[in-house]
């Protein structure tokens, strides 16, 4: 009995931080994926990790999502190969580290600000401080602390029953 409780607590201690930290980011939040929006401001203070995902929401047919390289991003040009995402609710899992660039392929939209660049970090590495926001380190720290706090509550509750 005691052994199985300890096993449950140990499992939670391992899982809680990872369960809490995999995030789904709705690009542009309530505004969604649209032109005349400042996605640089939207990304400020956010840290993206492998395992997180992006969701691009827009009225189907009005916009689309192309994953591009840095050159195409700067020039707002559609990639030579590859089709855009067009469902109106496109989820993109962030599977690898590094910089990722996305643009809308509808004529003129990228030039009107419908472009997103993010940097994806390895979740197991210590969060690197970003110059854009001094609060990012604290933010990811609080995620871990939330997981640890949940575990401590469980331990406390079990403790009340056992002792
Ligand atoms: C970026 O992609 C375009 C095709 O969409 C290609 O022509 C160009 O060489 C690529 N640039 C880099 C730096 O890979
Ligand atoms: Cu668009």
- Please, what sign has the CA dihedral across residues 104, 106, 111, 113? negative
* In-domain check, residue 154: yes
So what's the pLDDT on residue 129? 52
So what's the pLDDT on residue 123? 79
Q: What is the chain's mean pLDDT, rounded?
A: 79
* In-domain check, residue 12: no
* In-domain check, residue 150: yes
Encode pLDDT of 92-133 as tens digits. Answer: 999 999 999 999 999 999 999 999 999 999 976 555 555 544
So what's the pLDDT on residue 156? 42
Q: Is 101 in the pocket of ligand 1 (CB under 6 A)?
A: no
Q: What is the model's pTM? A: 0.69
Q: ∠ at Cα 10 (5, 14), nearest 5°?
A: 150
Q: What are the backbone dihedrals phi and psi of residue 54, each rounded to the nearest 5 degrees, phi first? A: -110, 140
* In-domain check, residue 3: no
Average pLDDT over residues 57-78: 98
Ligand number with the minimum distance to the CA of 74 = 1
Task: Count Cα neighbours of 133 within 13 Å in the Cβ-side half-sphere.
Answer: 15
Average pLDDT over residues 57-62: 98
- Please, what sign has the CA dihedral across residues 48, 122, 151, 53? positive
Ligand number with the minimum distance to the CA of 81 = 1
Query: What is the CATH number for 115?
Result: 2.60.40.420
For ligand 1, atom 7, name the residue with the nearest CA: 80
For ligand 1, atom 8, name the residue with the nearest CA: 71
* In-domain check, residue 135: yes
Domain residues for the domain of 35 are: 21-162
CA of 123 from ligand 2 middle (Å) equals 31
Q: Is 69 in the pocket of ligand 1 (CB under 6 A)?
A: yes
For the chain, what is the domain count? 1
Residues with CB under 5 A from ligand 2 (ion): 63, 104, 106, 109, 114
Average pLDDT over residues 151-159: 43
Beta bridge partners of 24: 53
């Amino acid at each position: 009995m005691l052994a199985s409780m300890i096993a449950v607590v140990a499992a939670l201690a391992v899982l809680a931080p990872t369960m809490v930290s995999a995030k789904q980011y709705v690009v542009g939040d309530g505004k969604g994926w649209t032109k005349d929006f400042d996605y640089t401001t939207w990304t400020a203070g956010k840290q993206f990790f492998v395992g997180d995902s992006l969701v691009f929401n827009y009225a189907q047919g009005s916009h689309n999502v192309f994953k591009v390289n840095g050159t195409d991003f700067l020039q707002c040009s559609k990639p030579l190969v590859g089709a855009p995402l067009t469902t109106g609710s496109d989820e993109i899992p962030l599977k690898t580290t590094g910089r990722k660039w996305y643009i809308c392929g509808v004529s003129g939209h990228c030039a009107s600000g419908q472009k997103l660049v993010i940097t994806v970090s390895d979740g197991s590495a210590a969060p690197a401080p970003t110059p854009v926001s001094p609060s990012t380190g604290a933010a990811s720290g609080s995620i871990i602390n939330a997981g640890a706090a949940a575990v401590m509550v469980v331990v406390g509750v079990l403790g009340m029953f056992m002792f």
